Structure 1
């Protein structure tokens, strides 16, 4: 049997149509000697740390680091059934075609299942960039040998294990050494996540500490050929400070007085035709950047829309690509792609009529192709835009217009630069006169729009009058104006992704900078993972948004401060650069997985030892400068600061002295509220714990109130609540009153008399002689009995005869 192994059900259904597997079966599609089955993403996941060290079910820094000698994978609980289907089919297969996504992760998904099933037969690789019929047929006719993509599995496996080793061990160490406990007290580390968070935190610090400085410019206009033209002052270098500004008001005012109303002359004219090539096609990152800038769409939402366009609508090609180019062979498909756009978007017919399929752009470049080409519309002639969501329609429109722009020609314009000298000072202006719109037809809003990015005021205008060197240019007005330097801009999701791509700017080592500038693997993270990394930082409350801006939460700032103080390399992109260098070597086959893991284990052991040492010698957590955000509200039990935490039910406040003190308070508008009376009650009489004699406290669980020992977790004794007092445990009155977990006196008091002694409510207790008997009722059975008022110190009880029950 020939088996095709896909990454997800939608892929399997599409491929099954083309290989004759038309019968739907349990978890697969079958045909004549061919079966198509599928994973649901990863069916297997890395085992938890306690699998290798059972004592880590409760995190203990002394047990770290955990470095598996033999890696183990667990079946994800939600996909056990499909896992069984895939394993069964792999054991029956005589030939396998890997048809998962064409990337590192797809390779890992398939080959980890091959390992689990013990498959040793022949392997081929289906390398798909699009799921339209023509692309699928083409790829099926050109299957790759499995050995060609096997190195990608080694790199993917290395990344997965490295992320687990560093993520699990460092997260546990930071949390147990410096955290606060509880779900909200976990301090996460990720090899890409942490440097990204550091970028945002450091940008916020720069904004917060920024001190604006005054500088001065001249607002001037000159008469050229009878037209008033605003021009920008070009100060002499001697007047500029290190930041390139005129810092002295007197200097600017002096020049303004000198120039105002004076005759000048045109000193330089530069004019001629120029052209602008269409922008390159979209990679996932460039698409996310532009969608964020234009429409404010989140990076993850862009990826989700792209995935739906690729799989569900079959409207675009493979989305998780870092390439902005197409192979020259795809020029032959241009007419079919344009026809598909025409069918999907009839409203673009006039624009499509301007396209020339025979023209080429710089986007067609075989030397720039990586594992996947750029995102473009597919060959599917039956795309239905009406079935798309609003965000999917927006992303499809962006992709279609960018592709179409490649065949509309260059944007032609006439550029003019004029420089005027007046009273010894130089002024400049430049302008564009559009001539042939070219690719800008696809973007009507951009036509005739001056490019003012980073340009001084009045330097760029749309059109200029004709001028020649030596022409008169009288100054009409000239005034000194005060400006102030501006702080760095906060990141948006789009600019944060751009910063992740160009992370080499944050690295001083030239060798590592070159690694991170490598076009195929530029930056930290990949186009496929960057959105998820940013989204995780939001979900874990390390980042927040304000309009389109991304800023760190107090929790995020505190984590980076902690890391910078104790292990600064963890927040440095140099570490990620070094790891990525090794992963690239794994993929190229010049490094073995065993060597890579050995290097990583040595580094990790040294790091954990250093963090342990710091944690032991550090001052108390609440006083540490890197502690997580505290309030000024003291703990009502021990006086230590309360700390903001999160649980599945929302935010709450816990004592920073945890685990020595386990007091919690509700969150009220971001501040600690009053302790709920039913949460942990200390009012009223004291009921000693029968085990350790510490006071019992009334608590509340999902099942209602109960009583628990205040010595928890050292003592976990509990009793049911009966009318606001500790009640009787069923086990203590159903023939099990002489319990071995009670101290001797309590066991003696709990023993029922060997022969029933007639008693009535209100009579002295025969067990302790200090209390009196009162009537009680078992909650579960409704049976009545007499118990001592000294309970739980005295656990004497006596069943009541049925006829006496009514007298209570």
Structure 2
């Protein structure tokens, strides 16, 4: 019997449909023959927690560290126990296994961990799924590979899981215990990637707080020639400029403005060159997240979730967790079917598709730059866009436009650079005149002149949209001169888009030459698939806060950075580890030596901190000051004034009063507790003591919904009470 193991039920259903396995079993599908398709729910197995190895490790104490498992063990998740038994039975009956999870290291791990636990020793093959539409699945089934080829992906995933466990469990316990000795009674979550990322934001916020603006001056002049007029900017002599060429001498700038106003000048330089601009490459996940953050303000996690839905539910795009923006040459055979599929899905796009030339060469098709996954593109499948949410429609539209524009001509323009001389003073002007729109017609309805323009021009930049025709040596008149006072500006706060970019290109923030060289060759901090979750995790753990469109570090984050050594918060160190994981995934390195190095590194840090813990607490006045400031992020209870604590529940966060006689709860709004509007006689729960909330529901045997009191501790506490109408007030 052939058994196909998929990552999720939806993926299993799609694969089974193409295989003709339409008969339903308990937790699997089959074809009444020799093929069965089953599925996991993501990771069915989870590594033991420390107290699973030894109950004494449940309490966090320095003297029990380091925690270094001799033999790694895992549990079946309680929520997946039933499905695991189904898979275990099917694996026992199987002659051959076809790993059909997502084609990446985590997908490989999901299936391989199950096979290892079930002690399967038969032949294993790999179905390399890159999209879930019928055509893509058939293509993957026609190109099944030996399982030995993808075993290194599994080893890389195991190395990542275990190294993250070693660092997270040991360092979180170590520095939480140390912080409590200093007087900061809050859990510090430390991770291989999240801590360096939080450090980046802390450093940026510190730069902004400590920034001292300095003045500089910009002189612009109005220049008239025979064919028209334009503006030009003064080229500041080196002796009056800072290191960025800005004038810092106001008297001299005033003098120049006075000297040139109304004087004759000459066009001392005039150069026009023709230029072409190629279409932007199709998206990888990070570039899509950046684009969506700037255009619509979506968070990285929102984009990941919506794109995953486009891939799994709507079958509208290819695999989204990719770090590639290129396509294999073999994908050219799908161009026409994809373009036709776009028209069938949405006839409104037919005008743009009609202008595309499927035979046009595009730099996006490059085999040398495609690894496991190619760029995110539309599938040939016809899908119902009316069933998409707003964010899904927006992302789908962006994905299809970035694909269609590959088959349009480059945009053409003339770039002109003019130099004007008045006496001993020089002025410069630039102009860019569009000649042919080319691919830019695809984005004519967008606000951006270029859909991916990452740069932000400084406010002293001056580009003319176009310049009048002129020649070198032509006389000119300077009709006016305007001197503007400016102030240097601090670096901007991180946004969702710029933080993703910083994580991807973290080499810019590293000073150590050894790490800087490594980082230029790697994917940076985290991976394309994990960055959204890392940012959201930092928000959930109270390290980052979203304020309008920017991300800022909280006092808790600054407290973390104050106590953690450079070796843990260095982006260079964690990116070097990611490089090793990539080598393991490609078969260039082995898992065991890597884990031995991580184990040795963790042990050294733990033992060093334990030996110096007393000195750190005695001499940690600076750290104490940061911790005391971090304590200021707590809030008083709206009822009794005791301290409120932010608590994560199944359905999100809430705030709970720590006062033993109160124990009220309040809703969370962007990291701050909100007063609750409830009936003035809202009772306490008779079972758990939490505040009851007015709810509405249909009781058994009743035709209409009625109001009742329900415990705010639901679903842990399901206590309820009858409701009688009273006036309401704010708590």
TM-score range, shorter chain: 0.7 to 0.9
Residue in 1 that maps onto 2:419: 419
Summarize the alignment of residues 379-398 of structure 1 with structure 2, pairs less than 5 Å apart: 379-380=380-381, 382-398=382-398
Instruction: Give me the whole-angstrom Cα distance separating, in 2, the residues matched to 1:322 and 1:559.
Output: 30
Summarize the alignment of residues 570-581 of structure 1 with structure 2, pairs less than 5 Å apart: 570-581=568-579
Instruction: Give me the whole-angstrom Cα distance separating, in 2, the residues matched to 1:89 and 1:593.
Output: 29
Residue in 2 that maps onto 1:468: 471
223-232 or 48-57: which moved more? 223-232
Deviation at 1:415, TM superposition (A): 1.9
Instruction: Give me the whole-angstrom Cα distance separating, in 1, the residues matched to 2:586 and 2:344.
Output: 42
CA contact (8 A) 1:273 1:414 kept: yes
CA contact (8 A) 1:652 1:672 kept: no
Q: 1:411 to 1:631 in 2, by over 3 A?
A: closer
| Matched position secondary structure for 1:627 | helix
Deviation string 1:741-773 (CA, Å, 9 cap, x unpaired) is xxxxxxxxxxxxxxxxxxxxxxxxxxxxxxxxx
| Matched position secondary structure for 1:624 | helix
Instruction: Give me the whole-angstrom Cα distance separating, in 1, the residues matched to 2:140 and 2:303.
Output: 27
Instruction: Give me the whole-angstrom Cα distance separating, in 1, the residues matched to 2:635 and 2:270.
Output: 73
Residue in 1 that maps onto 2:495: 492
Residue in 2 that maps onto 1:795: none
Deviation at 1:575, TM superposition (A): 1.4
Instruction: Give me the whole-angstrom Cα distance separating, in 2, the residues matched to 1:144 and 1:508.
Output: 43
Summarize the alignment of residues 582-731 of structure 1 with structure 2, pairs less than 5 Å apart: 582-619=580-617, 624-627=624-627, 629-631=630-632, 645-648=645-648, 650-651=654-655, 702-703=687-688
Residue in 2 that maps onto 1:378: 379
Instruction: Give me the whole-angstrom Cα distance separating, in 1, the residues matched to 2:245 and 2:177.
Output: 49
CA contact (8 A) 1:665 1:672 kept: no
CA contact (8 A) 2:654 2:673 kept: no
Question: Is it true that 1:127 corresponds to 2:128 in the alignment?
Answer: yes
CA contact (8 A) 2:378 2:403 kept: yes
Deviation at 1:445, TM superposition (A): 4.5
| Matched position secondary structure for 1:173 | helix
Deviation string 1:400-426 (CA, Å, 9 cap, x unpaired) is 000011111100112222111112111
Q: 1:514 to 1:49 in 2, by over 3 A?
A: same
Instruction: Give me the whole-angstrom Cα distance separating, in 2, the residues matched to 1:146 and 1:457.
Output: 59
CA contact (8 A) 1:269 1:469 kept: yes
Deviation string 1:685-735 (CA, Å, 9 cap, x unpaired) is xxxxxxxxxxxxxx9995459xxxxxxxxxxxxxxxxxxxxxxxxxxxxxx
Instruction: Give me the whole-angstrom Cα distance separating, in 1, the residues matched to 2:269 and 2:74.
Output: 72
Q: 1:307 to 1:242 in 2, by over 3 A?
A: same
Instruction: Give me the whole-angstrom Cα distance separating, in 2, the residues matched to 1:631 and 1:308.
Output: 40
Instruction: Give me the whole-angstrom Cα distance separating, in 2, the residues matched to 1:671 and 1:284.
Output: 31
Instruction: Give me the whole-angstrom Cα distance separating, in 2, the residues matched to 1:701 and 1:47.
Output: 36
Deviation at 1:359, TM superposition (A): 0.2
Deviation at 1:431, TM superposition (A): 1.4
Residue in 2 that maps onto 1:441: 441
CA contact (8 A) 1:437 1:447 kept: no
Deviation at 1:605, TM superposition (A): 0.8
Deviation at 1:164, TM superposition (A): 0.4
Residue in 1 that maps onto 2:709: none
Deviation string 1:532-580 (CA, Å, 9 cap, x unpaired) is 00010111111111111111112122211222xxx22211112102212
Q: 1:575 to 1:531 in 2, by over 3 A?
A: same
Instruction: Give me the whole-angstrom Cα distance separating, in 1, the residues matched to 2:182 and 2:88.
Output: 40
Deviation at 1:448, TM superposition (A): 10
Larger Cα-atom Rg: 1
**Unpaired stretches in structure 1, ≥5 consecutive residues:** 636-640, 656-661, 674-698, 706-808
CA contact (8 A) 1:503 1:524 kept: yes
Residue in 1 that maps onto 2:358: 357
| Matched position secondary structure for 1:270 | strand
| Matched position secondary structure for 2:157 | helix
Instruction: Give me the whole-angstrom Cα distance separating, in 2, the residues matched to 1:180 and 1:667.
Output: 29
Instruction: Give me the whole-angstrom Cα distance separating, in 2, the residues matched to 1:182 and 1:216.
Output: 50
Residue in 2 that maps onto 1:234: 235
Residue in 2 that maps onto 1:109: 110
Deviation at 1:233, TM superposition (A): 1.3
CA contact (8 A) 2:321 2:529 kept: yes
| Matched position secondary structure for 1:162 | helix
Instruction: Give me the whole-angstrom Cα distance separating, in 2, the residues matched to 1:361 and 1:632.
Output: 53
**Unpaired stretches in structure 2, ≥5 consecutive residues:** 675-683, 691-731
Instruction: Give me the whole-angstrom Cα distance separating, in 1, the residues matched to 2:394 and 2:634.
Output: 49
Instruction: Give me the whole-angstrom Cα distance separating, in 2, the residues matched to 1:346 and 1:183.
Output: 60
Residue in 1 that maps onto 2:717: none
Deviation at 1:105, TM superposition (A): 0.1
Deviation at 1:671, TM superposition (A): 11
TM-score w.r.t. length of structure 1: 0.78
| Matched position secondary structure for 1:420 | strand
Deviation at 1:254, TM superposition (A): 1.3
CA contact (8 A) 1:151 1:588 kept: yes
Summarize the alignment of residues 78-97 of structure 1 with structure 2, pairs less than 5 Å apart: 78-97=79-98
Instruction: Give me the whole-angstrom Cα distance separating, in 1, the residues matched to 2:686 and 2:515.
Output: 54
Aligned length: 663
CA contact (8 A) 1:96 1:122 kept: yes
CA contact (8 A) 2:182 2:617 kept: no
Instruction: Give me the whole-angstrom Cα distance separating, in 1, the residues matched to 2:295 and 2:246.
Output: 31
CA contact (8 A) 2:525 2:574 kept: yes
Deviation string 1:279-335 (CA, Å, 9 cap, x unpaired) is 111000000001001111111111111111111000100000000001112112111
| Matched position secondary structure for 2:475 | coil
**Higher relative contact order at CA 8 Å, sep ≥6: structure 1 or structure 2?**
2
CA contact (8 A) 1:222 1:476 kept: yes
TM-score w.r.t. length of structure 2: 0.86
Instruction: Give me the whole-angstrom Cα distance separating, in 1, the residues matched to 2:686 and 2:175.
Output: 30
Deviation string 1:1-34 (CA, Å, 9 cap, x unpaired) is 1000000000100111122211011110012111
Residue in 1 that maps onto 2:694: none
Residue in 1 that maps onto 2:19: 19
CA contact (8 A) 1:630 1:644 kept: no
| Matched position secondary structure for 2:138 | helix
CA contact (8 A) 1:630 1:643 kept: no
| Matched position secondary structure for 1:489 | coil
Residue in 1 that maps onto 2:698: none
Instruction: Give me the whole-angstrom Cα distance separating, in 2, the residues matched to 1:595 and 1:497.
Output: 31
Residue in 1 that maps onto 2:701: none
Instruction: Give me the whole-angstrom Cα distance separating, in 1, the residues matched to 2:498 and 2:186.
Output: 29
Instruction: Give me the whole-angstrom Cα distance separating, in 2, the residues matched to 1:671 and 1:588.
Output: 45
* Alignment counterpart, residue 514 of structure 1, candidates 512, 517, 527: 517
Instruction: Give me the whole-angstrom Cα distance separating, in 1, the residues matched to 2:686 and 2:235.
Output: 73
Residue in 2 that maps onto 1:142: 143
Root mean square deviation, CA, Å: 2.9
| Matched position secondary structure for 2:15 | helix
